Every structure is written in C-alpha cells, then in structure tokens.
C-alpha cells in the first residue's frame, strides 16, 4: 500500500451498474480508493500492469475473459490479493472453490438483486481490507488437487467413539485458513473435528469436497446422524445450525434450521454451546478469522467448563473480529498463528496410539 495507508483497488465486472455500485461502496471507506475499473479479465490484466493495485475485486462470470482465466494469469505474474464476486448458485460455488484453489484470498456472494448490493457492503469492505494484508495473494499456495477423488480410498478414521472433540468456528478468510490448517492434521489425530464456516448453501458442499481432496483426514459436509469420529472432520451445511449429542457408542451431529444466531445460520455460537454441554472439559474450541462476534461468548463457556480455548492471532487473520472479541473478554487460553495452529492442536489433543498415518500422495 502507498505511504498514506490507502488500499488501492481495481474493480473488475462486466456490468457497468455493478462496477459503479461496488466502486461507490468501497470509495465511501476512508482507507480504500478505487483507482480503476475494468469490464473483463483481459482489460484487467492491462490495467494491473499500469496501476499496480493493492487488491482486485473480480467477478467470476464475464464475457471474453472470465474471472477464473484472469486469475490464472494474475497468479502466474503477480502477488496481488484477489477477492472474487460469485453468484449464489451451485455453479457459482464450484467456480468459487476453483478460484480459491488458484490463489484468490476470499469471495463475496452477490445478492440475487442488484438493488440489494448494499446488503454485502460491510462484508465486501472487510474482505478487501483483509485481502490487503495478504501480500502473497494470487499465488498457488497449496499442493494441487488430486483430481476430484474426494477421499475415495482413504482409510477410515478408526475408532467410532471420539472421547475428545475440536470445534472450529470461522467466517471471513476462513476457507483459506481451513485450507492451511486441515491438511496438516494427521489421520491419527485423537479428536473428532466439527466446523462451522459461515457460507451459503451449496458452498459448504463444495468446501467439504475441496478440503477432503487434499487432506489426510476425512472431511465431509455433515448430515443428520453423522458420527463424530477421531481423525475426521464434519462441516456444518449452509443454512443449518449444527449441534452435537451423545448417544450409546459415541456422539452424533444433528442439524436444524432455526433462526439465525448472531446473524448467521450455521452459527459458531450454537455449535460451541452444544459442544460444551456434551463434552465439557474434553472439548477444545478454536475461533478463527472472521468479522462479527459469532462464537465469542460461547467459547467462554467452554473455558469455564475446563475445556481448552484457542484463537487465531491478529497477524494471520484476514479479519480480526471474532478472535479479537474472545481474547478481549479473557476467554482464550492460547493465541496462535495460523502456521502454528496444527502443532498447537496436536500438543493439546495428541494422537491415537497404534494408528498409522495415511498416505496423502
């Protein structure tokens, strides 16, 4: 960023109306300046060379050169963070996951109506600010996917009963954070993992497939009755709250629509409250990057019950909102960088004896 701290943004969208609306939202923020716009990926690549923006917002569906193709070029030539704008469709979800794999740092879902664009203004501003702190954006940061196997041929996690549980809550910047953390967790991990990532319906399905394809542990979108198994992770589906209940032989997840909590469904707060009720001191809660306050109260209940509480540190968060509130309330035992999170969990939870690690090749 320039010396005055202003975040210089290039807005790329084939719709003149959307370019104007997005630019207007961003320009109202004192720390952000829209320095140029482009009508498609081809024009954007030329503008990048001329103006060298700090952050790019990129529509996915555009004629001539779409956002995915443009992102490929950006990843090959530059280290500019890119925030994708996606439609709320299954195709949009799949393309968004592809963009994240290629190096986009985050995404924002466009509302169905252009007239409702103001509803995502706060999210868009927060994610642009978060992206500006990620100077390694638009680079392939992770190993390539294995070609859509989605976990076929993986060994089962083993024990059907998880005596320990790790509950993770994340929002803005969460897909990147989970993509960094979960591939470092071995199949021999001693706890079951349950995750709330704020995402719309369709997107959590794609997220689970995306993660499962590059993780040693099994990762899936949760369904009613799924067992919490050591060395496996369950992600709450978009549009549903997820909870845990003990039963003979182990613990299972349950899903319910319910009303949004802290503005979200699924809600981290709902998950954490359920986890502390069923697991108490055998629970470890992790609150990761995200805007807002979801989970920042219930994580205190886990600490009070004797469970372990961990927050992602400010430097590695795209948006230091949820973790900051939990830390300020005194609810956090350890503040850990994203790069150190897996080692921290292995220290707190441990591995099961006699379980060989799977082969993630």
pLDDT in tens, 63-83: 889 999 999 999 888 889 999
> Both 125 and 229 in a single domain?
no
Residue 105 lies in a domain: yes
- Spatial distance between the Cα atoms of 80 and 136, rounded to a whole number of angstroms: 7
pLDDT digits (tens, 9 = 90+) for 337-349: 999 999 999 999 9
Residue 293 lies in a domain: yes
> Both 178 and 325 in a single domain?
yes
Question: Number of folded domains in the chain?
Answer: 2
CATH of residue 226's domain is 3.40.50.180
Q: Is 343 a catalytic residue?
A: no
> Both 242 and 345 in a single domain?
yes
Q: Is 198 a catalytic residue?
A: yes
**Candidates 40, 188, 198, 226; catalytic one:** 198
Contacts of 147 (CB under 8 A, 6+ apart): none
**Candidates 13, 106, 294, 313; catalytic one:** 294
> Both 215 and 87 in a single domain?
no
Domain hosting 59: range is: 7-132
CATH of residue 53's domain is 3.40.50.2300
pLDDT digits (tens, 9 = 90+) for 148-177: 444 444 555 455 677 999 999 999 889 989
Q: Which of 234, 200, 202 is nearest to 215 (CA)?
A: 234
Counting every residue written for the chain, the total comes to 361
Q: Is 73 a catalytic residue?
A: no
Residue 356: per-residue pLDDT: 57
> Both 208 and 120 in a single domain?
no
186-217 in b/e burial notation, b at 16+ Cβ within 10 A? bbbbbbbbbbbbbbeebbbbbbbbbbbbbbbb
Look up the pTM and report it. Answer: 0.86
Confidence tier at 103 by pLDDT (50, 70, 90)? confident
């Amino acid at each position: 960023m320039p010396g005055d701290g202003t975040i210089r943004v290039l807005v790329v969208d084939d719709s003149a109306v959307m370019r104007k609306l997005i630019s207007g939202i961003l320009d109202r923020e004192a720390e952000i300046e829209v320095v140029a716009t482009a009508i498609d990926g081809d024009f954007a690549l030329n503008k990048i060379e001329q103006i060298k923006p700090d952050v790019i917002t990129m529509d996915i569906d555009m004629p001539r050169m779409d956002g995915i193709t443009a992102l490929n070029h950006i990843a090959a030539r530059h280290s500019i963070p890119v925030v994708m704008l996606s439609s709320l469709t299954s195709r949009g979800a799949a393309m968004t996951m592809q963009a994240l794999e290629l190096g986009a740092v985050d995404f924002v879902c466009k509302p169905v109506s252009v007239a409702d664009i103001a509803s995502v203004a706060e999210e868009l501003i927060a994610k642009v600010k978060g992206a500006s702190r990620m100077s390694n954006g638009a680079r392939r940061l992770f190993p390539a996917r294995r070609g859509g196997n989605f976990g076929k041929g993986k060994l089962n996690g083993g024990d059907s009963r998880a005596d320990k549980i790790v509950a993770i809550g994340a929002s803005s910047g969460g897909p990147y954070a989970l993509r960094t953390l979960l591939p470092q967790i071995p199949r021999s991990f001693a706890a079951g993992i349950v995750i709330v990532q704020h995402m719309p319906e369709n997107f959590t399905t794609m997220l689970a497939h995306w993660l499962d394809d590059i993780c040693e542990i099994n990762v899936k979108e949760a369904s009613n009755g799924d067992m919490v198994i050591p060395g496996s992770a369950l992600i709450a589906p978009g549009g549903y709250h997820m909870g845990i209940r003990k039963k003979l032989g182990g613990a299972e997840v349950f899903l319910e629509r319910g009303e949004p909590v802290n503005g979200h469904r699924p809600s981290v707060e709902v998950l954490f409250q359920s986890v502390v009720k069923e697991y108490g001191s055998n629970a470890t809660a992790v609150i990761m990057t995200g805007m807002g306050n979801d989970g920042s109260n219930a994580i205190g209940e886990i600490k009070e019950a004797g469970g372990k509480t961990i927050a992602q540190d400010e430097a590695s968060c795209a948006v230091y909102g949820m973790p900051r509130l939990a830390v300020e309330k005194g609810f956090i035992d350890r503040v850990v960088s994203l790069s150190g999170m897996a080692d921290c969990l292995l220290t707190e939870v441990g591995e099961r004896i006699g379980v060989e690690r799977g082969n993630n090749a």
